Amino acid sequence: MPEIQIFLTSWCPYCQMAKRLLASKVEVWLEVDVEAEPERRREMIDRSGRTSVPQIWIGEVHVGGYDELAALERGGELDALLAGEGA
């Protein structure tokens, strides 16, 4: 199974929603709190080209934020990606 990374902040409701959706499917992911670790905010922006949280990676695939994660789920593609079968 690919490693799942979420860059987030503790305030962020979309981060909570993303975690809740992931929790319905997998048990483990890696969280990076960019508020607690401001130096990793730069890393997130460099890797994603975005300043918003959450930013989610499944393996090497940059999913984006919650809207994109939810769109994958809507389209029925999230399970395959989590199983390591995605693009």
Q: Tell me how crowded residue 5 is: count the other CB atoms within 10 A of its CB.
A: 20
Q: Is the dihedral of CA 77, 72, 57, 27 positive or negative?
A: negative
Q: Considering only residues 17, 29, 40, 62, which one is a binding residue for another protein as defined by CB under 8 A? A: 17
CB of 10 to another protein, least distance (A): 8
Distance separating alpha carbons of residues 78 and 56, to the nearest angstrom: 12
Site for another protein in 23-52 (CB under 8 A): 24, 34-35, 38, 41, 45, 49-52
Q: Is residue 58 within 8 Å of residue 81, measured between CB atoms?
A: yes
Residues that bind another protein in the complex, under the rule CB under 8 A: 9, 11-17, 20-21, 24, 34-35, 38, 41, 45, 49-53, 64-65, 70, 73-74, 76
